[in-house]
Structure 1
Amino acid sequence: MCIWDTRVFEAVSFVKNIYFLIVNGKIKGSGLELNVANVYAPESVNAKLGVWNELSAAIEDYTGLWLVGGDFNAVRDSSERRNSRLNLSCTTNFNNFIFNSGLLEYDLKGRRALSASYSDHGPILLITRARNFGAKPFRVFNSWLGKEGYKEAVEKSLEGINFTGQPDLILAQKFSLIRKGLKAWRDEAKKKEGDLANLAVAKMEELENIMETRGLLEEEEWSYLENKKLLLEIERRKTMDLKQRSRTKWALDGDENSKFFHAHVNARKAINGIVTPRFSEIFVFF
């Protein structure tokens, strides 16, 4: 359950999942877009990995700030595990989810939470503190390479900045700046692409209504074909991104004894299998 103060936060949309609830909205007064994910992760390692992948996809698709909290049923290192054995695979998956999504962990200082009073849950005060968990990786989609402004966004990220220190640290700093620049460019490009798609759909619907009463003029026909071409190109790029994501998912899950692995094995068996007819279906001709 998520509760918020309507004087501070205005909810706009929701994403409901069996293991998490995402509330998307805006902070009043500032206009900042905020996404709050309330998580209650399952016990199974493979099931948790599926939740991390779904949350990563949601974080990739939604713009604005992100706050992810709840019961993750996972720890980041052995110091957080008490009276139980550390599952290295679970810890690795959890850390990869945090790194790949660009999230930062906020420590609980002093008492773990404030007084619970009348509730069995205690409110938590979040205070920021920078912790270095290593370089943050970022994903670049192949469809971005042909988009307008991609190359300029990379070059602009490093303009006028002097780097000092060890070569590996300098490289990490450069990657961090490029990641921020590409993220801002991606959000702007996605919004611009959405606006163009909406305009193209509206124009095509307008021309289709005209076609019900008369034939299109040469200029109108050209406009119809160009808008259709634009929508097909946008759809092609989305398909490229989905294909690349599926390959990443196979690289992560393909060799594990998981539902994802068995689904692919069963699909391959179904394709390659030879169907043997039952006795009643065998016909003999003389």
Structure 2
Amino acid sequence: MIILNLNIRGVGGGTKARYLRHVIAGEGVDFVCLQETKAKVFTEAKCFSLWGDNKVGWIHHEGENGCGSLLSMWYEEAFSYVSHVKGKGFIAVFGKHIKSNTSCAVVNVYAACNLNEKKICWKELTEDYRILFWVGVCVAILMLFIDANSLFDLPLVGKTFTWFKSNGSAKSRLDRVLVSEEWMDIWPMCKQYVQQREVSDHCAIVVKSVDKDWGPKPFRSIDVWLKEKDFGELVKGMWLSYSVQGSAFTKVKEKLKCLKGDLKMWNKDVFGNIQTSKKRILQELEDLDCQDCCDDLGDGDRLKRMELVGRLKEMEKKLDSLICQKARANWFRSGDSSTKFFHTSLRWRRLRNEVKGVEVGGIWCENPPLYARKPKASLKADLKLRRIMEFV
């Protein structure tokens, strides 16, 4: 689901309408949240003009004399409207994203500048809409609201700030998108793409899920492998078995490439999936326990059960080590790895560490094919690769 959020500071004039149509068409937007439209009344013709299509549903909140007015629009072939609720400073639209067949609530929020009014707005949202899939926000103080609802602020791509004072004397991140754990389950690669500032002192934000292929991933090892018996000898034997010609850099690169492939096969065929192995052991223990309830176990079965219990404890340690390495969370040692928030944190870390783009020749590149076509010699210079001493 692709969503556009913008504090437009008034929708009057053809320039802003053209800008909205350009972004909506270029990004394939499904839902639009506008704040500060500064309009008391909206018509269908005006909404059709802003979107550039007549298959548009919309809800307008006039605010107080046009101040704090909100407009939520959606493309009817992408989002199926069910109902909506309007409150002081927000519009909540409930419906279904047709392509993913996902029911969701899109809440467009503009909090007042008055601190007490902000607290009232966030309290009302917290009490009434605990299951939020998406929130478009223009507000300065909302950390308590985020913590109370276990929401996540998506990573920014493009800029660090979303609002700039016209004279350049101040800047801030006033606009942001918050998502729930359920949203991250459905669209795990979702990010906030900050657009160029053209028609307002606020930047438009496009929320979309983009999974780009930047080529081969770097070589990484898993700590739990080191606990496997004879793992060191296995790796040493693999490394010495590779015969590679070329410079020292080429030898290291090609050997790591071969080692990566062999370890992936070993992990799949020999080491095995830890969760699957744990389930298999638990099932065998369950069968023995059921057998023991019906009849006494023989000495062989009792020894087998003791062996399975020992293997289960070993699997638990391996699983803890694997999760701890993925999350890099110190509190895991005394925390609970089964919590929903913990596993959401794993996805959040992967999303935050994802490569958003590469600077090539002084130009920011977010298109992997363009980056891949860059000459090899030029890439080495751009990325400042250091010569590796011959040690192979």
TM-score normalised by the chain length of structure 2 = 0.30
Higher helix share: 1
Higher Rg of the two aligned structures: 2
Higher strand share: 2
TM-score normalised by the chain length of structure 1 = 0.39
